[in-house]
Amino acid sequence: MIVGVPRESFPGERRVSLVPAVIPNLAKAGLEVVVETGAGIEAGYPDADFAAKGAKILPQRAEVFRAADILVQVLCYGSNDRTGEADVPLFKRDQVLVGFLRPLGSAETIQTIAGKGVTSFSVELMPRTTRAQSMDALSSMATISGYKAVLIAADALPRFFSMLTTAAGTITPARVLILGCGVAGLQAIATARRLGAVVSAYDLRPAVKEQVHSLGARFVELPIEAKDAQDARGYATAQGEDFYRRQRELLGKVIAESDVVITAAVIPGKKSPVLVTKEMVAGMAPGSVLVDLAAERGGNCELTRAGEKIVEHGVTLIGWFNLASTVPYHASQMYARNLTAFLLHLVKDGKLQLDTKDEIIRDTLLTYGGQVVNARLREFFSLPALAIKEGA
């Protein structure tokens, strides 16, 4: 089988879906790799490095799509809402597509992919289990986002992060608050601590308290309790507006005392909850910084503008997203390792294995045979139940 690596077309995207180092492992499994010219240049992987590991370089995007049995991308049509549609005419029936597809974003997009007869797998839906850990691309990219958010905040803050003892006196450390302690939030805690800040963190899931403490941060406890705080996959669940209103009231003082706030509270498939109101921003000290990692999904801060850096009430609000793309070398390396583990799980003896009894395959498979087959998606978009043919 041939694995195709097209150049990423989303504006500003610098990652590449596979890196040269993983090609020998794929070759051992009987997979050949073709790469579009320049696909890895912006991530630091020139064509010569791919060729040296056995990949074939193809000059035209259409050639890659035509040759590939399996297409691997970072931002596929679905997550790429700018230029992704241009790839749709290039799809072949029974071709396999693997990457970020934003499955809970648009039913029409997924149905378009299904209509082309493509068998697609969404890495966002990878189960968070021990077996699937090496394939969890979402966590890999969230790790980078949490790390980079702190560096962005440190660059924008008109203060040192760490405590310094100097001839001019002692400089007190910055106070950093992390809201949302998933993968990105935990990495933000670790990075801020390494930079010497005093770090506090809050999450509606009490289960993360121990993890926060293990990273050397203080866990902010509020006298309110979330109902069914997390789902079976370990993600935080959406709460009612009464809960969020009370949460905002209690968080106001903690936010006002912080020099940096990093928000990372995201609910899969839903608009991000507002944790920081405009009044809370107004209560922060001039020069403070807020980095909103949920900006793409509406933002955790009421004043966030997606993709922009603005100043309101003397506070710098940063709503940049796709932060993993700003660390393209290692982001590509991590993503390629995740995809390679998934491809080796998916292909046995040179053939695609669609065993839907396997949780990893069942949960990530979106489209097959011209239909949207993922049960979670069909329920989410209120699609009618599939009619299963005998023997299928």
Is 389 part of a structural domain of the chain? no
Instruction: Specify whether 77 is catalytic.
Output: no
Quick check: is 235 catalytic? yes
pTM score of the predicted model: 0.94
Residues 94 and 190 in one domain: no
Active-site pick, 49, 66, 81, 128: 128
Please check whether residues 153 and 84 belong to one and the same domain. Answer: no
pLDDT of residue 372: 97
How much is the pLDDT for 233? 64
Q: Which of 279, 300, 321 is the last residue of a domain?
A: 321
Does residue 390 lie within any of the structural domains?
no
pLDDT on residue 232: 64
* Assigned domain for 132 exists: no
The answer on 306 and 157 residing in a single domain is yes
Residue 91 within a domain: yes
Let me know whether 83 and 150 are in one domain. Answer: no
Same domain, 277 and 154: yes
The CATH code of the domain that includes 271 is 3.40.50.720
Same domain, 206 and 258: yes
Please report whether residue 338 resides in a domain.
yes
Residue 163 sits in the same domain as residue 290: yes
Catalytic-role residue among 60, 82, 133, 214: 133
Tell me which of 305, 321, 337 is where a domain ends.
321
Active site residue 202: no
Instruction: Please give the residue range of the domain that contains residue 36.
Output: 2-125+327-380
Domain identity same for 161 and 268: yes
Instruction: Reply yes or no on whether 128 is catalytic.
Output: yes
Within this chain, do residues 316 and 333 fall inside the same structural domain, yes or no?
Answer: no
Which one from 49, 235, 246, 378 is the annotated catalytic residue? 235
Which H, E and C letters describe the chain, residue by residue? CEEEECCCCCCCCCCCCCCHHHHHHHHHCCCEEEEECCCCHHHCCCHHHHHHCCCEEECCHHHHHHHCCEEEEEECECCECCCHHHHHHHCCCCCEEEEECCCCCCHHHHHHHHHCCCEEEEHHHCCCCCCCHHHCHHHHHHHHHHHHHHHHHHHHCCCCCCCEEECCEEECCCEEEEECCCHHHHHHHHHHHHCCCEEEEECCCHHHHHHHHHCCCEECCCCCCCCCCECCCCCECCCCHHHHHHHHHHHHHHHHCCCEEEECCCCCCCCCCCCECHHHHHCCCCCCEEEECCHHHCCCECCCCCCCEEEECCEEEECCCCHHHHCHHHHHHHHHHHHHHHHHHHEECCEECCCCCCHHHHHHEEEECCEECCHHHHHHCCCCCCCCCCCC
Q: What is the pLDDT along the chain (392 residues), one digit of tens a residue?
A: 999 999 999 999 999 999 999 999 999 999 999 999 999 999 999 999 999 999 999 999 999 999 999 999 999 999 999 999 999 999 999 999 999 999 999 999 999 999 999 999 999 999 999 999 999 999 999 999 999 999 999 999 999 999 999 999 999 999 999 999 999 999 999 999 999 999 999 998 888 999 999 999 999 988 887 777 677 666 777 788 888 888 888 899 999 999 999 999 998 888 999 999 999 999 999 999 999 999 999 999 999 999 999 999 999 999 999 999 999 999 999 999 999 999 999 999 889 999 999 999 999 999 999 999 999 999 999 999 886 654 45
Same domain, yes or no: 224 and 361:
no
The pLDDT of residue 87:
98
In a shared domain, residues 73 and 158: no
* Confidence at residue 206, expressed as pLDDT on a 0 to 100 scale: 86
Domain finish residue from 321, 351, 369: 321
- Give residue 241's pLDDT: 81
Query: Choosing from 136, 203, 259, 363, which is the catalytic residue?
Result: 136
Catalytic residue, candidates 9, 139, 162, 230: 139
Shared-domain flag, residues 310 and 344: no
133 in active site: yes
How many domains is the chain built from? 2
Residue 133 lies in a domain: no
